[in-house]
Amino acid sequence: MSPINSRVNRRVALAGLALTVASRASAQEVYPNRMLKMIVAQPPGNSADLVARMLAERLKRALGQPVVVDNRPGASGSIGVAAIASAPPDGYTIGIGGIGQLALNPTLYSKLPYDAQNGFTPIAIVYRGPMLILVDAASPITSVRELVAQSQASSTGLDFTSAGAGSIMHLMGEHLALTARAKMLHVPSRGTAAAATLVLGKHAAMLVENVTASISFVRSGQLRALAITSAQRHPSLPNVPSIVESGYPNLVTEGWLSLVAPAGLPAPVRDRLAEEVRKIVQQPDFQSWTVNSGGLVEPTTPEQAGAYVRAEAARWSELIRAVGIKLD
């Protein structure tokens, strides 16, 4: 090959490389240029679904592209989050992963169809939901300390219930029993209404449930809230003492939702999504809706969200093993 032809070929190769790099850069710069899908591992109407729809509508306006919510419930949320993890890491499939799927299930189940630790790119914590420790409004028990004392004084202890075995509500009750040395036995229910019925029918002494699902029972006067499991009182229930005020600071517990994408999401795409979500969660209407529904939210970076999820997974893994809970 002549030197002239060699130089021509080199120039063609370099031009092709430059075009490829420019095309990739251009593709990143125009993200997003088509519809996004937000997978939710819960059915429509669930708190995760409601948060997803609030985010999707605002992300649509911020990104200039449709954001469609895709509900994929089933198998304790495993079906939905597995679909997120297996999607292409291009920023066009994102989703909501909760404490159950990302922090509890890896210890509760021997096998999962996703890798909770390495299968996702964290973007932001988008909702934190404290829980209520509840008794029948006619119960003589008026505080958590009285609940613990009564359980210890009873030869058989007290039954407590939650919306389901292995839920964060169930684990919160087990955590209380272990920490306070209370004598309590879990009676699982299928959903909040069924659990509340057990307490109202005096088949269980206490119920642990998130604020969003149980606040109507408190406001109607059917159930009495002994404490809320956040560090401070909640604006929607200012007369309910925090778990810290109740004398159990180690029991501060919140359910939470994290916006995630598949592992390997390019940093510029991740950061664009994180920045838009940071703005959204600070909007007054989003804050107001979150508080009124019994939740809390504050801006987080992807790094903060990832560290939070890892810390929660370690915390609850230790408790699940200590109590000996397995769901398979």
pLDDT (0 to 100) of residue 83:
98
pLDDT (0 to 100) of residue 190:
87
As a whole number, the mean pLDDT across the chain is: 91
Question: What distance in Å separates the CA atoms of residue 245 and residue 306, rounded to the nearest whole number?
Answer: 29
* Weakest mean pLDDT among 17-31, 109-123, 266-280: 17-31
Mean pLDDT value of segment 231-251 = 95
Q: Which residues contact 92 (CB under 8 A, 6 or more apart)?
A: 32, 34, 35, 36, 37
pLDDT digits (tens, 9 = 90+) for 276-317: 999 999 999 999 999 988 899 999 999 999 999 999 999 999
Question: What distance in Å separates the CA atoms of residue 314 and residue 104, rounded to the nearest whole number?
Answer: 9
Statement: residue 197 has pLDDT above 50: yes
Phi-psi region of 74 (alpha: psi -120 to 50; beta: other; left: phi over 0): left
Statement: residue 6 has pLDDT above 70: no
Q: Torsions phi, psi of 314, nearest 5?
A: -65, -45
Q: How far is CA 208 from CA 114, 218, 250, 256, in A?
A: 29, 13, 16, 16
Q: Which residues contact 57 (CB under 8 A, 6 or more apart)?
A: 67
Question: Exposure of 210 by Cβ count < 10 A (0-12 exposed, 13-18 middle, 19+ buried)?
Answer: buried
Statement: residue 25 has pLDDT above 50: no
Question: Exposure of 308 by Cβ count < 10 A (0-12 exposed, 13-18 middle, 19+ buried)?
Answer: middle
Q: How far is CA 252 from CA 115, 192, 209, in A?
A: 27, 21, 14
List, in order of start, the domains of the chain with CATH numbers: 34-129+255-323 (3.40.190.150), 130-251 (3.40.190.10)
pLDDT (0 to 100) of residue 2:
53
pLDDT (0 to 100) of residue 11:
57
Q: What is the DSSP letter of 104?
A: I
Question: What distance in Å separates the CA atoms of residue 76 and residue 105, rounded to the nearest whole number?
Answer: 8
Mean pLDDT value of segment 207-216 = 92
Vertex 234, ends 199 and 192: CA angle to 5°?
Answer: 30
pLDDT band, very low/low/confident/very high, at 13 (cuts 50, 70, 90):
low
Vertex 84, ends 81 and 88: CA angle to 5°?
Answer: 160
Statement: residue 8 has pLDDT above 90: no
DSSP strand pairing (254-262 vs 93-98): antiparallel
